[in-house]
Structure 1
Amino acid sequence: MTEQDNTDIIEEARKVFSGPIAFLKSAPALEFLPDMAVNEVAFAGRSNVGKSSLLNALTNRNTLARTSNTPGRTQELNFFDVGEPLRFRLVDMPGYGYAKAPKDVVRKWKFLVNDYLRGRAALKRTLVLIDSRHGIKEVDTDMLDMLDGAAVSYRIILTKADKIKASELEQVFVATAAAIRKRPAAHPDIIATSAEKGMGIPELRAAVLESVTQG
């Protein structure tokens, strides 16, 4: 992709995310999933990784996705319609690594996510959020294994990049790239973001738009 192409898709993505975006529905089980009228991009991440804040920054809304300091608040698949007419959907997946949740609830979430990943033809890419202060942890590795097993294309998004020094961020960036290099379903490019400062948000918007329009 040329520099002009990159500039064009960033501008197009800015326009798309400045338009209509609305919550569609929550799906606690597969039978509640919406029709597959358009392509989807899902967001996955460990509880408290900053997923809701990033979704709000991505869509330039303050309350589109709920934010909470309580891990595991998102317990369903939440769908958001983007564009009018409808262009694509964003899917907020249940956070993982929820140590305080009952085991039967954790099991239910895991089955829901795994079944969605394996059976959703409309899903074009999953964006896996990793806290830049911690890098890839064991619970993240479990998620990456699940995505590789389901043959679902995914891309790593580093969150809270403003919370660490630039030199530390670079180290996390290099280590993360090395960790995913041999993973079959991983996109090689990583985006570092800050929902609070707006860092990487234009690039993230472009990555979402590219995911749903390619091929």
Structure 2
Amino acid sequence: MSPEEQKAQEYRERAASKLFSGRVDFLLSAPQLKFLPEPTVPEIAFCGRSNVGKSSLLNALTGRKAIARASVTPGRTQELNFFEVGEPTLFRLVDMPGYGFAKAPPKVVEKWKRLVRDYLRGRQVLQRNLVLVDSRHGLKDVDREMIKMLDESAVGYRIVLTKADKIKKSELDKTVAAVSAEAKKHIAAFPRVHVTSSEKGMGIAELRAAVIEDALGADWADS
């Protein structure tokens, strides 16, 4: 990255931090498509295996300690949770239900698949999906199933490695290389894999700027 590009990136990251320091509010939980909010603003969705660190990442991105608490409340784990950003609302973050249920009844799994598939295929304001992957484990078959669903739904997505501080750098480098190689095989995947740690703040500023760019466009920081 050239000095000019670095300066521009730092500017975007500062602008993103300022935007997220403003209004970020929980809007609603939608157990079915008929409960979705009106499609009036862009949406960025987050998905990942159960315990991948999705709530922690959402909290880190928004600079809050408990913005995503609603999404982990018992009874809401199989719903789409919507958060509004900006005053007036500029875009929404969507916390999708975690997947990879080891002991879930088949009916629960099928209900999840139907809700997610229908949302992905029918939500015109959905701009990007972030697929969260635990750095310690890399891509699992359930992640690949989710990626296949995104490919079939023609939804562009970024792959985000979480908990990068939990493994050695040498192991992290191997995981990044493997996931990047697999991502390049999918036309809907953003080619660069994001590496993050919610606990240490690694990669959060860059991802925050990328999320807003996905929602509002490349020139959002200059508007």
TM-score calculated relative to the size of structure 1: 0.95
- Tell me, in whole angstroms, the C-alpha distance in 1 between the residues paired with 2:97 and 2:105: 14
- Tell me, in whole angstroms, the C-alpha distance in 2 between the residues paired with 1:174 and 1:158: 12
Distance 1:62 1:132, change over 3 A: same
1:9-37 Cα distance to aligned partner (Å, 9 max, x none): 11111001111100000000000000111
The equivalent position to 1:173 in structure 2, one of 161, 173, 176, is: 176
CA contact (8 A) 2:45 2:95 kept: yes
* Paired residues, number: 215
- Corresponding letter in the other structure for 1:169: L
CA contact (8 A) 2:20 2:62 kept: yes
The equivalent position to 1:75 in structure 2, one of 78, 88, 91, is: 78
Q: What's the offset of the Cα at 1:66?
A: 2.4
- Tell me, in whole angstroms, the C-alpha distance in 1 between the residues paired with 2:95 and 2:73: 16
Tell me the residue number matched to 1:41: 44
- Tell me, in whole angstroms, the C-alpha distance in 1 between the residues paired with 2:74 and 2:169: 27
Unaligned ranges ≥5, structure 2: 219-223
- Tell me, in whole angstroms, the C-alpha distance in 1 between the residues paired with 2:12 and 2:159: 19
Unaligned ranges ≥5, structure 1: none
Tell me the residue number matched to 2:69: 66
Indicate yes or no: 2:128 matched with 1:128: no
The equivalent position to 2:211 in structure 1, one of 202, 208, 211, is: 208
- The DSSP-based 3-state class of the residue aligned with 1:23 is strand
Sequence identity (%): 62
Q: What's the offset of the Cα at 1:3?
A: 2.3
- Corresponding letter in the other structure for 1:124: Q
Q: What's the offset of the Cα at 1:4?
A: 2.6
Indicate yes or no: 2:17 matched with 1:9: no
Q: Deviation above 3 Å: which 4+ runs of structure 1? A: 67-73
- The DSSP-based 3-state class of the residue aligned with 2:98 is coil
Q: What's the offset of the Cα at 1:185?
A: 0.4
CA RMSD of aligned residues (A): 2.0
1:89-132 Cα distance to aligned partner (Å, 9 max, x none): 00000111011222111111110000000000100000000000
- Where in structure 2 are the equivalents of 1:35-184 lying within 5 Å? 35-66=38-69, 74-184=77-187
- The DSSP-based 3-state class of the residue aligned with 2:87 is coil
1:169-192 Cα distance to aligned partner (Å, 9 max, x none): 111000000011110100011111
- Tell me, in whole angstroms, the C-alpha distance in 1 between the residues paired with 2:199 and 2:58: 12
- Corresponding letter in the other structure for 1:208: V
